[in-house]
Structure 1
Amino acid sequence: MQAAESAPGKVRTARALLIALATLITMGVTASLGFWQLSRAAEKQALEDLINSRASLVPWTERDLLQVDAIHKGLHRLARLTGEWQQNATVFLDNRPMSGRSGFIVVTPLLLHGQSQAILVQRGWVPRNFTDRTKVPNIATPSGPVTIEGRLAPPPSHLFELGRAEPGPIRQNIDVQAFAQESKLNLLNASLLQTAPAASEFERDWPRFAAGVEKHHGYAFQWFAMCATAALLYFWFQIISPRRKHRPHGSES
């Protein structure tokens, strides 16, 4: 009889422990996600600061570019390079919109002056011919030594494509190693986003890196708010509300 009388109490205790455990887990998970978002914001802010600091440095020449032990140390840095265009290796990267319009990114290797290495130069954007999609624009490419300015960047980004692309002027992507073998050029594992001088046929509204720190701060606030909400709900329904119900009638509030 005594065991039967204590059964409801055991059920209430087990339920209270289960609710407390669920609340602790919820608070732990949401707080951890909030701190993770803050760490991501700090990482991206550090990257944005690094990019901005590199952009303010003295532009590299072709000699500076080849003397660095790792090419990625110069990414996002300004460069002023002298060399010769390899016009026969010009490629038109398809499905590369700019300013909301469809067209090509024109990529031509630049053989660095006095060197055996070349670098892919993303010269700018041009619209495509919608009447004849196999036709490419006539791009003026000067012969002889030229000096160009730009911002060092990774190789052109890869878009999803079905199957293996056939060699030709219009392509979806460029694989640096495969293109080096095809063009017989010793290509650096980087590219140059050309900025000046701007030819009339090109648009060069290159996107700037945006860390998106505010987005991570917003996500962190949401996770911390969920954590605080779980704590407040627990204290209200498990501590404050039961005490209010069991308070003797007529007692002062």
Structure 2
Amino acid sequence: MSISFRLKFFPFVATVVVVSIGISLAQWQTRRALEKEQIAGQIKALSQQPAVHVGSEKALSSIPPFSHVVMRGEYVAQWPLYLDNRPMQGNAGLYVLMPFRLEGTQSYVLVARGWQARNQQDRKMLPPLSTPTGTVEIEGIVRQQLDRVMQLGQADVLKPAAIVQNIDIAQLAQQSRLSFEPLIVEQVSDTGDGLLRQWPMPSAGVEKHRAYAFQWYALSAMACLFFVVTGIRRGKHKVSDTNAHHSATDHATTR
């Protein structure tokens, strides 16, 4: 029995496309896992450092992301903002954001104050918000930006008490006419406002990305295997037909 491989053009092209996409997605998932591992290492290293005091002598822009900072100043209570679609512990809610004026400066920091549950009966109705007055001291973690969600439609113009999907500091500075630092601070200290501050870790999900990468590599391997198996041709029936033809010829000659 002879075995041969028959190369078919269209199955070959389809296999190349599937394998290329699978490997590309697997490599992307692997890179995301490595990025989050690096972030986790950076967070761990910075968490062991003492908190940096931000103010007139130390600008927030000079501090690396994920650093622990302490700030003194006042909340700008007239400019609350809310990030929509931010669940916590399985409950729908909002991230409460607010400008914070640094003591002794004209600089403002956008502070993610915490999480607040949504009104289940009327999603447009905002729950009461308690804001400390006067000079307060807060602690937080520096972030380049908060985790973004899919933007449905065109972003609304930023205005006080706006509910938005994502936030852009440059746009906020333009609309509010306040001079903002280019970074955001996730507040971790309690100011008695009733907000939750169990912020999601940006380094979470490493194992998930590695699992997805394995699945894409496995899909690519299965596509290759399927192409090879379906292209194999065995010569058993062909040989039998040839033998039958020779037998018929010999019988005719004998007669």
Distance change in 2, residues 1:171/1:56 (3 Å) = same
Other-structure match for 2:133: 142
The 5-angstrom pairing of residues 81-230 of structure 1 reads: 81-129=71-119, 133-134=124-125, 136-144=127-135, 146-156=136-146, 157=148, 159-160=151-152, 162=154, 164-165=156-157, 167-172=159-164, 174-229=167-222
After the TM superposition, which of the residue ranges 76-85 and 29-38 deviates more from structure 2?
A: 29-38
Q: How many angstroms apart in 1 are the aligned matches of 2:126 and 2:229?
A: 70
Corresponding position: 1:29 with 2:20: yes
Q: For 1:87, what is the secondary structure of its paired residue? A: coil
Bigger relative contact order, structure 1 or 2 (CA pairs below 8 A, ≥6 apart): 2
- Give the CA deviation at 1:43: 3.4
Report the residue type matching 2:111 in the other structure.
Answer: V
Q: TM-score, normalised by structure 2?
A: 0.68
- Give the CA deviation at 1:161: 5.1
Name the % identity. 27
Report the residue type matching 2:186 in the other structure.
Answer: L
Other-structure match for 1:58: 50
Cα-to-partner distance string for 1:116-142 (whole Å, 9 max, x where unaligned): 211011111233455674455141312
Q: Tell me if the contact between 1:31 and 1:227 (Cα under 8 Å) persists in the aligned partners.
A: yes
Distance change in 2, residues 1:101/1:120 (3 Å) = same
Distance change in 2, residues 1:246/1:77 (3 Å) = farther
Q: How many angstroms apart in 2 are the aligned matches of 1:233 and 1:58?
A: 57
Q: Tell me if the contact between 1:105 and 1:126 (Cα under 8 Å) persists in the aligned partners.
A: yes
Q: For 2:59, what is the secondary structure of its paired residue? A: helix
Cα-to-partner distance string for 1:38-73 (whole Å, 9 max, x where unaligned): 34433332233233333333222215751755x6xx
Q: How many angstroms apart in 1 are the aligned matches of 2:85 and 2:228?
A: 56
- Give the CA deviation at 1:168: 3.2
Q: For 1:89, what is the secondary structure of its paired residue? A: coil
Report the residue type matching 1:116 in the other structure.
Answer: Q
Distance change in 2, residues 1:40/1:125 (3 Å) = closer
Distance change in 2, residues 1:188/1:25 (3 Å) = same
Q: How many angstroms apart in 1 are the aligned matches of 2:186 and 2:107?
A: 17
Q: TM-score, normalised by structure 1?
A: 0.68
Q: How many angstroms apart in 2 are the aligned matches of 1:247 and 1:225?
A: 37
Report the residue type matching 1:196 in the other structure.
Answer: S
Report the residue type matching 2:131 in the other structure.
Answer: A
Distance change in 2, residues 1:52/1:245 (3 Å) = farther
Q: How many angstroms apart in 2 are the aligned matches of 1:164 and 1:247?
A: 74
Q: Tell me if the contact between 2:19 and 2:223 (Cα under 8 Å) persists in the aligned partners.
A: no
Q: Tell me if the contact between 2:43 and 2:66 (Cα under 8 Å) persists in the aligned partners.
A: yes
Q: Tell me if the contact between 1:80 and 1:149 (Cα under 8 Å) persists in the aligned partners.
A: yes
Stretches of structure 2 lacking an aligned partner (at least 5 in a row): 241-255
Q: How many angstroms apart in 1 are the aligned matches of 2:78 and 2:214?
A: 54
- Give the CA deviation at 1:102: 3.5
